Structure 1
Amino acid sequence: MRSPFSLHRRRARLRFHRKKRGTRLSGSRSLASVGELFLFTACLTVGAVAMGLIVYWFVLPQWRVNRHFVRTNCQVIRHPGMKKTTGKDASLWQPTITYRYRANGSTYIGRNYDLLDSRYPSRNKAEAIKDSFKLGQQYPCWYDPLDPGTSVLFSGNPLAYWLLLIPVAFLAIGFGGLGYTLWQFTTSRERRAALAQQAAGRELFDEDQDETKLPAIPRIEGVSGSPGTTLAYRLPIAARMGWQLFAIAIGTACWNAVVALFVFLGIRRVLAGEADWILLVALLPFLIAGIWLIVHLTRLFWKMSGIGPTRIEICSHPVRPGETYKLLFVQTGNMLLDSLNVKLECEEESVFQQGTNSITASRVVCRQDVFEGVNISVDAGQPFEHHHTLMIPASAMHSFISPHNRISWRLSVTARVNKRAGYHRDFPLIVIPGKIESDTHSGASA
């Protein structure tokens, strides 16, 4: 007998458009999200690589000048001049100053005005620097105690630190864009609208009065401000795989940016005829690990690309033992589910001390099937929806929280996806004590 959850099997595919509107095809949100994800990942990678290069070439040398170079006196031994460098679009001017100084009992000749070997597009500025030094006069200079032959006449060049604004901008765009894209991808339109209304200072629902009456009951957060499309409330999800993918993407980008920096420096030394083969061999396992991270991230993203958000709506929340509630299960995406299971679970958690260690033990003490389906086809334009009823066991213990004990209820969703990674998602439920009948109160008072 065919399962009532079985729908017509379709080949899962990534659509480049949602529907046809006359002679125009509306764009695909999934494809747009993929494009944004790659764009912001590229910005993040460029920013990380640029940050490493600027820090290595400019910031660290300038920091050593300010912190470790030793000050001494020098004498200008040649008349200062100007050096012109002609480029495609403009000419650059550089003051040339030759000076003599003593360090560690030896005499050295210096020619650097600053460590960055700065060139200026304005000739007047370069001439002003040149004219500030006179032949035969003495001026302060700074030399490297580890390499006394390296010296500068000017130690306060802030250009190196200003250059950091370039990679910082790319990193900010990458981090912010990736976070926003994944938030848009993993959050429903109704949830975003509710957050926007809360930000505007408008409450969608009145505060639940049971929170103040039942202090040992966990707070009902993320529910009263999250309305459903059909039923009153949309249950919050305990964890989102999208954020795990985001963390893996950040780690992959940072790892490969650092490896790329050292590979670039190693290749540069090879081209300069100063090959450091020990460095190149040591980089080999890191390079292999970076390639593996990219492959793993690509495969994980492909497996998750068709898995959309899961939404569970309920007619009332919190719930009480012995009562029945309407449920709406909605699964979006573009995939074929080999199996889908929704269970009601109660987990007990206890924290206890063993010596100086704090140990947490947890166990599922109650598990009840809500519904089960097989061979469910989910299309990008037609999400799977199923209405069901949820019966809370009459003997169920209500939700409870204390410093050392916790009793929590949840709806657990487990799915096996055809040719892709399966997923498991939990939706917390708050169970409060059942209503006390009036005759019970009168009997107790008698």
Structure 2
Amino acid sequence: MPVRHDEDSADPFEGRLGAALRQAGDGFATDGAALVTAGQARGRRLRLRRRAAVLGGAASLTLVGVGGALVLPGSGGGGDGASGASPAASAQRAAATDAPVTAEAMLTTLRSLLPEGDVSQERSGDGSQGSAFATVVFDDGQGGGAVAVSVDRLQPGGDDADQMTACPDKTAVAYDSCDSTELGDGSALMLMQGYEYPDRRVDTKLWRADLVTPEGYHVSVNEWNAEAEKDAPVTRPEPPLTLAQLRTIATADAWRAAAASLPENPKGVPDDGGTRPEVPPVTGPPVLQVLTDLLPDGVEVVSQEGGDSVEYGYVIVDDGDGRSLVSVQVQTGMADVAGDLFGPDDETLGDGTRVAERQRPGEKGGAGVVWWSVDTLRPGPNGERVIVDAFNSEAQHTAATREEPALTMAQLREIALDPRWFN
């Protein structure tokens, strides 16, 4: 998705969904192009991050620092050797020993799957906290590039599984190619060639493969044409592994075995031991239907995305002075995180509706981009929230096409407060 709505919250892709692409470069990228705010309840945060991953193409891991050390929950130290067993055999072993995959096993497996070349700057973490990873710098003789793999478990058949392998919307993130396919065993695989920075201010390329099996095993393999994800010089024109090699690594049985050994949490119980709050479904007309009806006269819709979704949609409009992106997100169940979304200086209307108006620079680095938004929360137990955003560009990661968005703040406010969103 093109935008995020919490200036001060933690990285919206922390935890298992990490970054996501992601999340994939800054936008399906690791610093996250999320449309929604992460609240205090972990269950709510996970729900919103899943939504952010759909069009954001989010990566499920983040490399930082010297040598591309991976930062993931529960990173830890080594142990025994790699597992090359079949998924079924590994699952039986895990059930018998109750021992998650070790950090050493992750590294050993990654080394065994790489083609001939030099491997250095190794880092890894075990699966004791629900995810495991390994990262190295791999040099085939043409320059070193960071290569990283992570494994975790998702709810089989859930939204996470679908969204992790969905190609991102090009309005949200720039990439050269993306292909999402279903394999013979029912697994979903996404292969993408993209960039670390959506505005391409540095020509660091990010190529990735994400696999989700019918059992909910999630494998993510990422590579860069630099020895670290960020703040490292480009060492070669392209990352060291081809897409075919990424596919081979991602689909290796050993990773499924590793995922099978991880602690299972199929009900999505929050880390603090609480229960996931029940979230009422969004009911109402499709977002695009309402949004296009509410647009002011004099603006032409040149493209749109959202289909029949009642939760999210966007249009690119042109009033004759340049194209402008306008997006809407509709949420429910947000009453318990109102304190995280609105501050004491934000407006409260007579009926109790909270309203926050924001004008800020676009966060994805597009030259001269500004981001205007109106965030609203209706009173009542359903916690009905509508966020409307507008940019002075066609996408948040592209250069400005005009001085200001095509819609004024007053027009954005009128759209956000319209009663039709939930009728």
- What's the TM-score once normalised by structure 1's chain length? 0.19
Structure number with the bigger relative contact order (C-alpha 8 A, sep ≥ 6) is 1
- What's the TM-score once normalised by structure 2's chain length? 0.20
* Structure with the largest fraction of strand: 1
